[in-house]
Structure 1
Amino acid sequence: MDYFAQQAVNALALGGTYALLALGLAVVFSILGLINFAHGELMTITGYGLVFSLAAGVPYPGALICGVALAVFCAVAMERVAFRPVRRASATTMLLTSFAVSSILHTAFQNFISARPKPVPVPEWLGGAFTLAGIQIGAIPSLSILVTVVALATLVWFFQSAQTGLAMRAASEDFAVTRLMGINANRVIAASFAISGFLAAVAGILWLFQRGSVDPMMGFVPVLKAFIAAVLGGLGSLQGAVLGGLILGATEVMLRAYLPEALLGFRDAIALALIIGLLIVFPNGLMGRPIQAR
C-alpha cells in the first residue's frame, strides 16, 4: 500500500507538469486554433535564462524570476513576430509556422549557446525527502504538486474573475462574436501567449529540477507528451488539458512501477495504445467538443 501511495505521488507530480504544458497549448488553441509546437522551446529559454542569470551573479530566486520573465517575453514576441502576420492564413500555414519557429530557435540554441547540456544547480533541499503517514515523499515531487495546484488555482481565478480572463473565455467560445462585441483581439491573443509562456516556464523549472541540466532539445519530449495529453482531454478544453495531463502522467508512472521487467521496454507503446483506446471511445477527447472553424 505504501508503495502504491508513493507511486501515486509521483504520478501526480509528473501529471501536473504535463497538465501545465497541455494547458498552455490549450489556451492558445482555444482562441487561435493553433497547436504551437514552439511551446517546448519556451521551456528551454527558461532554463537558459536561469543558467545565465546565475552566472551573472543573480540570487537563485531572482534567477528563477528572470527565467520565467524571459519565457513570457519570448512567447509574446513569438506571437507578434511570427504568428500575427499569418493569423488569417489557413491552419496548415500556422502549423508550419510553429514548426519553423521551433526549428529556428533550436538551431539558434545549438549555434549560439551550445549543443551540449549545461548543468543547472538545484537547491540542496530539493534533493531530500520527508515522511508523511509512513510514506516517503521526495521534495521535488512535492514541490511539483504544490506549484501545479497553485498555478491551476490562480488560472481558475483569472478566468473567472479578471476582465482579460473573461474576455479570453468568451473568445474561446466564439472568437468572431467576441471581436464584434468590441473586445481587442490583439490584446486577448497576446494575453493567451503570455499565459502560455508562463505555464511553459513553470513546467520548465520543474523539469529542470528533475534533470539538473538544460540543452537545446530539452522541451521536445515534454511538449510532445503535453500535446498527447491535450488531445486526450479534448483540444480547446482547458479542464480537459489538465485531466489529460494527469491521466498521462499516472499511466506512465503506474506502468513503470507495475509492468513486468520483460515488458518495461514497451512501456511507452502500451501507454499510447491505452490512450488510443480511450480516443476510440471518446473521439473528441474526454472533455472535448467538435472543433468549429474560426
Structure 2
Amino acid sequence: MLEQQLVNALSLGCVYALFALGFTLVFGVLGVINLAHGAVFMVGAYAALEAVTRLALPLPLAMLVALLVSGVIGLLIDVLVLRPLRNRNAPHLIPMIATIGIAIFLNSAAQGMFGAENQRFAPEVLPTESFQIGAVHVSVIELLIIGLSFALMAALFVLMNRTQTGRALRAIAESPKAAALLGINVEGLFRLTSFAAAALGGVGGVLIALYSNAVFPMMGQPMLHKGIAVIILGGMGDIRGALVGGLFLGFAEVLAVAYIGSTMRDAIAFGLLFIVLLLRPQGLFGKVLERKA
C-alpha cells in the first residue's frame, strides 16, 4: 500500500538526512570530505549497544552515550589529525586520505573487539508498540526515528541561522582567515563542528541499528556511499540540500523495493540521482562554495 511505503520511506530518508547533515557540516565549515564519518556512524551504534547490554542503561540514556562517544571520536579526529594538517597548509586531498586511514583503523578495531558477525539489541530493549492510523501501521521505532531526526535537524538549522555561533560558522565557511581577523575563535569552532557532526552521525548509527536491529563493523560503509551521494545531490555544504537529498534517496529506495524489486534498489535510487545531476550538476541548492583568503 502506498501510504505504508511512504511512512517507511520517510523513516529511512530521515536517517540518511541525519547522516548527511554531519557530513555536509564538516565539509561546509572545515572544507574536508571526512571519509571516516561512516566509521563514526558505526561507533555510535556499538556505543548504544554496549550501554544497553553491559551497563543496563535504558534506551534514551544509551542514545545519549552514543552521541557523546561519537562526538568525542569526531573531536579527537580533528585535534589529532585534521588540525595538524591545517597548520601545515596540507592540500585538500591529504585530509581526505587521512580520514580513510582513520576509517580503516576504527573498522578494524571494532572487528577485533566485537567480531565480524551481526549483533542485535535484546528484544526487551526494542519498543514493540505500534499505532494504526487508518490503513497505515506505524511502529514506535519509526516514530522515534522520524521525530528525533527532525528535532535534531531543526536544532541545527536554528543554530546555523538564528544564533551568533551560526553566523560565526558561516563566516568561517566563507573565509577562515577573515573570520580570525574579526576575532572569531576559528579553532574552537572547528572543534565544535567536528564534535557536532560526529554526534549526528553517531545518533544516525543508533537509529539505523534500531531500525534493522543489526550492528556490525562495516555497517557504516554503505551509509558513507549514500551520504556522499546525498550531499552531492543536495549541493556540497548546504544543510537544506542534505535534508532534501536524504529524503529523496530514502523515498527512491523504498518505492523501488516496493514496486520494482529489492535487487534494483540501489540501481533505481542512484539512477534517479544521476538523472537529477545531469539536469542540475551543481546539486539542488547551488554549487560548491570556494573559500577565499
- When normalised by structure 1's length, the TM-score is 0.92
Aligned residue among 17, 28, 41 for 1:30: 28
Q: For 1:1-294, what aligned pairs fall within 5 Å after superposition? A: 3-60=1-58, 61-87=60-86, 88-121=89-122, 123=124, 126-259=127-260, 261=261, 264-293=262-291
SS of equivalent residue, structure 2 residue 127: helix
SS of equivalent residue, structure 2 residue 146: helix
Query: Mind listing any 5+ residue stretches in structure 2 that lack a counterpart?
Result: none
Offset, 1:110: 1.7
Q: Is the 8 A contact 1:82 1:101 kept in 2?
A: no
Offset, 1:131: 0.8
Q: Is the 8 A contact 1:236 1:288 kept in 2?
A: no
Return the letter of the residue paired with 1:76. L
- Please give the alpha-carbon distance, in whole angstroms, between the structure 2 residues aligned to 1:124 and 1:99: 34
Query: Mind listing any 5+ residue stretches in structure 1 that lack a counterpart?
Result: none
- When normalised by structure 2's length, the TM-score is 0.92
Offset, 1:248: 0.7
- Please give the alpha-carbon distance, in whole angstroms, between the structure 1 residues aligned to 2:147 and 2:40: 22
Return the letter of the residue paired with 1:185. V
- Please give the alpha-carbon distance, in whole angstroms, between the structure 1 residues aligned to 2:85 and 2:266: 35
Q: Is the 8 A contact 2:235 2:288 kept in 1?
A: no
Return the letter of the residue paired with 2:52. L
Offset, 1:271: 1.8
SS of equivalent residue, structure 1 residue 286: coil
Return the letter of the residue paired with 1:147. L
Offset, 1:208: 0.9
- Please give the alpha-carbon distance, in whole angstroms, between the structure 2 residues aligned to 1:134 and 1:283: 40
| CA displacement, residues 64-114 of structure 1 (integer Å, 9 cap, x when unaligned) | 222221111111011101111112211111110110110111111122332
SS of equivalent residue, structure 1 residue 130: strand
CA distance 1:5–1:57, change in 2 (3 Å):
same
Q: Is the 8 A contact 1:119 1:212 kept in 2?
A: yes
Return the letter of the residue paired with 2:197. S
Return the letter of the residue paired with 2:24. A
Comparing 103-112 with 29-38, greater Cα deviation is found at 103-112
- Please give the alpha-carbon distance, in whole angstroms, between the structure 2 residues aligned to 1:15 and 1:122: 25
Q: Is the 8 A contact 1:8 1:250 kept in 2?
A: yes
- Please give the alpha-carbon distance, in whole angstroms, between the structure 1 residues aligned to 2:201 and 2:249: 18
CA distance 1:111–1:133, change in 2 (3 Å):
same
Q: Is the 8 A contact 1:125 1:139 kept in 2?
A: no
Return the letter of the residue paired with 1:219. G
SS of equivalent residue, structure 1 residue 131: strand
Q: Is the 8 A contact 2:175 2:291 kept in 1?
A: no
- Please give the alpha-carbon distance, in whole angstroms, between the structure 1 residues aligned to 2:259 and 2:146: 22
- Please give the alpha-carbon distance, in whole angstroms, between the structure 2 residues aligned to 1:184 and 1:124: 42
- Aligned-residue sequence identity (percent) comes to 30
Comparing 159-168 with 19-28, greater Cα deviation is found at 159-168
Question: For this pair of structures, how many residues does the alignment match?
Answer: 289
CA distance 1:139–1:274, change in 2 (3 Å):
same
- Please give the alpha-carbon distance, in whole angstroms, between the structure 2 residues aligned to 1:123 and 1:169: 44
CA distance 1:226–1:96, change in 2 (3 Å):
same
Comparing 77-86 with 112-121, greater Cα deviation is found at 112-121
- Please give the alpha-carbon distance, in whole angstroms, between the structure 2 residues aligned to 1:55 and 1:16: 26
- Please give the alpha-carbon distance, in whole angstroms, between the structure 1 residues aligned to 2:209 and 2:169: 30
SS of equivalent residue, structure 1 residue 213: coil
CA distance 1:51–1:145, change in 2 (3 Å):
closer
Offset, 1:125: 5.9
